[in-house]
Amino acid sequence: MLSFTFSLFISLVVSHVAANPRPGRQNGTIRWVDCHENVPQPLQSTLNVTGTSFAGTLPKTLFCGEIDVPMDYTRPFDSATNNITVGFAMNRPRDPAGLLLYHAGGPGLDAASEAWFTALNISSDSAPFNLLQDFDLLAMNTRGLQFSNPLNCSFNTFFNNITFAFPSTKAEFDQYHAAMSKLFSSCGKNSTPKGIMNHTGTFEVVQDWDSIRAALGYEKVHFAGVSYGTFVSMEYVARFPERVGNFVLDAAIPHGAPFQEMITDQVGAINRLLLRADAFCLTDLTCPFHKQGNGSVVAAWDTLLARALKAPIPAAGCGEGKGCNTPVTPTDLRLGVSVIFRANPDFPLFNIALNESLHGDASLFAYQQQGDIRESIVTPLLCADFQVSGDLRTWEGFHNLSINSRVNDPHKIVYSQMWQIALMCGAWPFAVPAPSTISTELPLMLITSDFDLNLPTELTTFAWELTPKSVLVVRHGDDHTSILFPPPITPVQSIAVDFIRTGVLPGASSNEQVTVYPPGSTRGPIPGAYDVPTGSVAEDTSSIEDIR
Ligand SMILES: *[C@@H]1O[C@H](CO)[C@@H](O)[C@H](O)[C@H]1NC(C)=O
Ligand SMILES: *[C@@H]1O[C@H](CO)[C@@H](O)[C@H](O)[C@H]1NC(C)=O
Ligand SMILES: *[C@@H]1O[C@H](CO)[C@@H](O)[C@H](O)[C@H]1NC(C)=O
Ligand SMILES: *[C@@H]1O[C@H](CO)[C@@H](O)[C@H](O)[C@H]1NC(C)=O
Ligand SMILES: *[C@@H]1O[C@H](CO)[C@@H](O)[C@H](O)[C@H]1NC(C)=O
Ligand SMILES: *[C@@H]1O[C@H](CO)[C@@H](O)[C@H](O)[C@H]1NC(C)=O
Ligand SMILES: *[C@@H]1O[C@H](CO)[C@@H](O)[C@H](O)[C@H]1NC(C)=O
Ligand SMILES: *[C@@H]1O[C@H](CO)[C@@H](O)[C@H](O)[C@H]1NC(C)=O
Ligand SMILES: *[C@@H]1O[C@H](CO)[C@@H](O)[C@H](O)[C@H]1NC(C)=O
Ligand SMILES: *[C@@H]1O[C@H](CO)[C@@H](O)[C@H](O)[C@H]1NC(C)=O
């Protein structure tokens, strides 16, 4: 469980805010632009966009807009020296029921597509928005991304000769940090306007949101967002409480949680998922370990890791030019588990990977540099928010984080993404606000799933315990996030949609799929991995097996 040593209920305003008034705020003006020329990157291939333009017909409710905002909100807007443009897409029905803001997470995931999906009435992976088509849906791309002053960093350059996923020695740590430093300084050198790297964080993003809200003429805004979007929305809650309507925060990453706590929780979460893979195998006739019964998947992992620690395991499908490394080291295996279990864990794939590896081919666990977040827009956006300071910037301090998380790591998986964040952001050279918890008396809805790996469920509890008027909705199942599933609508999705529509928090309830904890109550223990069903009821999916 998370614990922290500083006071629990600090005021609504976080400390770095008080020091920075907002002279740059104003009711700016929106420039409506032609959506045909502003197609979100992830949709360009779906819509057969050639060049930059879409030639087909677009729905009348789809709008694309831009607004000029201060690069640095602590100084007044100035068209020449303190001005950047952020872009967004909206679905704008006639007589909207309110303004609903969406954040796609990441940080760095495209939000604009969601407004397109909704306007085009394409059932995307997020059924709730199909049910909220009568709201003005605002989907702004975070500054640093397409439409919003994109950063220009030299990816795929500085890690070319770094083949390991995370450092196991001081020399490797230094090599990793050096590459990270070069990457960050490339962002600083190539991005415009000059100075932007000190102003790409959540501190600014929430003001961009509020600038658009004001320009649209709304007094209040509702919010539905996942993952990293919860971090940004909590900051909005702290800074603009008078603007907060009905906020749904799904899979929370709280402000002010100490790195060590987050890492220890995440190492615990991946160990839980190993047990979930075992529980899944018990009901999966095609699982290679099915006949061996309870505990066999866990035993197979322990055996495999012990073997790899003696000698790396070949990966027949990998090697020079194949995009993955061979042989597979213990480090690769540990990262590989996380890759298969993160987001929507693929238990059938994991179980097959284990069996094949024990038969001498560890290709399914092999490290793929291309897929590593270290060389993506995620890093500069994330590191602008997460201060890694003091000892944590040294090998010893960084390494200690994983030594201390061993208490939660019976299966010696070691790696966690939070730990990688501490690693990557330890080389960040630009400004970062000091960490601080956020507490509010506003009634919010927080949602989590028991077996989330990306943001372990303890983190949502941490955030919820700082918001005494809020409800906690716990989905008993797997996956990172609970509102982004395709139709048909799930119980948790209906709960979220009803709250956004009415502002009425649900009362206490509990069944096999979901437990609702009302404000001020205490969350029960996280269920055992074998005590909650796996399969479609837990929202399990697989790339290799049809799970019904
Ligand atoms: C894109 O092209 C494919 C094949 O050429 C076609 O089937 C599809 O309908 C097109 N999509 C749109 C949105 O035009
Ligand atoms: C902000 O800068 C952009 C790009 O240089 C320019 O087109 C725009 O007019 C400026 N905005 C204002 C309000 O001056
Ligand atoms: C969107 O599509 C669904 C079926 O997928 C349909 O029931 C609904 O009426 C459509 N909404 C609009 C606004 O066209
Ligand atoms: C990796 O490449 C960089 C230059 O990009 C060089 O400075 C460094 O020494 C190389 N490291 C190794 C281990 O080869
Ligand atoms: C990004 O920076 C590189 C290196 O300075 C430059 O060549 C390139 O044109 C820049 N890209 C954009 C889109 O500005
Ligand atoms: C960021 O701010 C620091 C001072 O806090 C300054 O030294 C540095 O030059 C700034 N960096 C950029 C890229 O503007
Ligand atoms: C616009 O700005 C004025 C003055 O700063 C403020 O009182 C008003 O609330 C703003 N309007 C909206 C919709 O935010
Ligand atoms: C385990 O993997 C081996 C090698 O790929 C394969 O021959 C065997 O059929 C697999 N076992 C099961 C039960 O799937
Ligand atoms: C499997 O074994 C674990 C202990 O290792 C136990 O907690 C769990 O209840 C067992 N599950 C089943 C379905 O037998
Ligand atoms: C690392 O942990 C050890 C043992 O707890 C402690 O003595 C040492 O000061 C720590 N070092 C750093 C840099 O945190």
Tokens representing 546?
Answer: 């049809």
Tell the residue number behind the tokens 């969406």, with chain if given: 102
Q: Which pLDDT score is estimated for 232?
A: 98
For residues 530 and 451, give the distance between their C-alpha atoms in angstroms, rounded to a whole number: 12
Q: What pLDDT, on a 0 to 100 scale, did the predictor assign at position 106? A: 93
pLDDT at 401 over 60: yes
Structure-block tokens of residue 162: 């770094």
Res 123: pLDDT: 67
What is the model's pLDDT at position 122? 78
Quick check: 14 pLDDT over 80? no
The pLDDT of residue 499 is above 70:
yes
Q: Among residues of the chain, what percentage have pLDDT more than 70? A: 95
d(CA 275, CA 271): 7
Confidence grade of residue 125 (pLDDT, cut at 50, 70, 90):
low
DSSP H or E run through 68: strand 62-69
| Residue to mutate (ligand 10; options 170, 394, 396; most atoms within 8 A of CB) | 396
Q: Kindly state if the Cβ of 32 falls inside 6 Å of ligand 9.
A: no
Predicted local confidence at residue 24, as pLDDT: 40
Nearest residue (CA) to ligand 7, atom 12? 214
Q: Ligand 7: residues within 6 Å at CB? A: 27, 214, 217, 219
Q: Is residue 236 part of a domain?
A: no
User: Could you tell me the pLDDT band of residue 27, with boundaries at 50, 70 and 90?
Assistant: low
Tell how far the Cα of 281 is from the centroid of ligand 9, in angstroms: 12
- Closest-CA residue, ligand 4 atom 11, reads 161
User: Are the CB atoms for 400 and 423 separated by under 8 Å?
Assistant: no
Q: Name the residue at shortest CA distance from atom 12 of ligand 4.
A: 161
Q: In the 3-class helix/strand/coil scheme, how is 523-540 assigned residue by residue?
A: CCCCCCCCCCCCCHHHCC
Number of separate domains in the chain: 1
**DSSP states of 475-510:** E-S-SS-SS--PSSPPHHHHHHHHHHHH-PPP--EE
Residue 482 lies in a domain: yes
What average pLDDT does this structure show over 530-540?
Answer: 94
Query: How confident is the model over 482-495, as pLDDT tens digits?
Result: 998 888 899 999 99
Does 22 score more than 60 pLDDT?
Answer: no
Give me the sheet containing 514-517, strands edge to edge.
Answer: 30-33, 62-69, 84-91, 136-140, 99-103, 221-226, 244-250, 445-449, 471-475, 514-517, 509-510
- What is the position in ligand 6's atom list of the atom closest to the CA of 188? 13
Does residue 508 form part of some domain?
A: yes
| Ligand 10: residue whose CA is nearest its atom 12 | 397
**Which tens digits make up the pLDDT trace of 34-76?**
999 999 999 998 888 987 799 999 999 999 999 999 999 999 9
Closest atom of ligand 1 to CA, residue 56: 14
Instruction: For residue 422, tell me if it sits in a domain.
Output: no
The binding-site residues of ligand 5, defined as CB within 6 angstroms of any ligand atom, are: 152, 190
In-domain check, residue 163: no
Mean pLDDT, all residues of the chain: 93
Whether the pLDDT of residue 181 is over 80: the answer is yes
- Ligand 6, residue 197: give the atom nearest the CA: 13
DSSP 265-280: HHHHHHHHHHHHHHHH
Rounded average pLDDT over 419-429: 98
What's the token pair of residue 101?
A: 């803001």
Secondary-structure breakdown of the chain: helix, strand, coil percentages, each rounded to the nearest 5: 40, 10, 50
- 288-295 contacts: CB < 8 A, separation 24 or more? 288/351, 288/352, 288/354, 288/355, 289/351, 289/354, 289/355, 294/530
Query: Is any ligand 6 atom within 6 A of the Cβ of residue 201?
Result: no
Interval 496-505 mean pLDDT:
98
Residue 251: pLDDT over 80: yes
Amino acid 6: pLDDT: 22
- Ligand 8 centroid–CA 473 distance in Å is 40
Residue 373 counted as domain residue: no
Q: Residue 263 falls within a domain, yes or no?
A: no
Average pLDDT over residues 462-489: 95
User: How far apart (Å, rounded) are the C-alpha atoms in residues 145 and 277?
Assistant: 36
Assess whether the C-beta atom of 197 lies below 6 angstroms from ligand 6: yes
- For residue 252, give both structure tokens: 């929370």
- Give the pLDDT score at 28: 80
Domain of residue 501: give its range. Answer: 445-538
Report the chain's terminal Cα–Cα distance, integer Å.
34
Pocket test for ligand 5, best of 147, 152, 154 (most atoms within 8 A of CB): 152
Locate 73 and state its tokens: 């909100």
Ligand 4 centroid to 161 CA: how many Å?
6
User: How far apart are the CA of 30 and the centre of ligand 7, in A?
Assistant: 15
* pLDDT computed for residue 157 by the predictor: 95
Phi/psi at 158 (nearest 5 deg)? -90, -10
CA-based nearest residue to 378, from 413, 415, 420, 409: 420
Q: What is the mean pLDDT of residues 306-321?
A: 97
Pocket test for ligand 3, best of 121, 129, 133, 137 (most atoms within 8 A of CB): 121
CA distance 225 to 484: 9
CA 514 to chain centre: 22
Nearest ligand, CA of residue 197? Answer: 6
pTM of the model: 0.92
Assess if residue 38 is contained within a domain: no
The percentage of residues in the chain with a pLDDT greater than 90, rounded to a whole number, is 89
Cα 192 to averaged position of ligand 5 atoms, centre (Å):
10
